Amino acid sequence: MQGDYHPNLDYPCSHAGLLERKSTTLSLVNLRNNIMITFNYYKSQLKRILRELYALKAGDIPVRDFGICANLEEITNLDVAYFLRPCFRTWRQFSGDYAYPVPSPYASDKHSASVVYTTTHEDDMWNHDHPYGSLRLDLLEHLIRECEDAIDNGGYNER
């Protein structure tokens, strides 16, 4: 049997099918893909992340030329990578690059996710009428659903 990806270890492990709930941190499993996903956050931290995701959705964006990750870290003072990375993998549009999860909306190879991120004007980064901004907002909606699911259901479901 092939091992499952463990995001905190960056190598396969054999923890498939486990669902643990520790006293104050959540260890969750994506049962559809047998992926072990551990969030090393207190539930209150996940609630803080969710609150700030909603703030970003409402347009309260501290640094408009930053993406979701940098803005969340700016607001929460948390390293949010271990929460966001597993969620990126379940987003249907994921670029495959954790540093630049929003893909290029353009067909050309010269417009990689990193190039589009660094060249998109700050007014378009969060603009639902711009192809790249629209993808970012779709990712934001996905992250909200995943975070709500982790908090409310104690589980991690692929969307």
Give the tens place of pLDDT for each residue, 31-71.
Answer: 444 454 555 567 788 889 999 999 999 999 999 999 999 99
Give the tens place of pLDDT for each residue, 84-124.
Answer: 999 999 999 999 999 999 999 987 666 799 999 999 999 99
The runs of H, that is alpha helices, within 60-130 are 68-76, 81-90, 113-119, 122-125
Which domain range does residue 115 map to? 44-153
DSSP 55: H
CA distance 127 to 158: 26
Q: Is the residue at 74 inside a domain?
A: yes
CA distance 125 to 62: 13
Q: Does the pLDDT of residue 23 top 50, yes or no?
A: no
Q: Is the residue at 25 inside a domain?
A: no
Q: How confident is residue 82, by pLDDT bands cut at 50, 70 and 90?
A: confident
What is the phi/psi pair of residue 134, to 5°? -60, -40
Into how many domains does the chain fold?
1
Q: Is the residue at 72 inside a domain?
A: yes
pLDDT at 109: 61
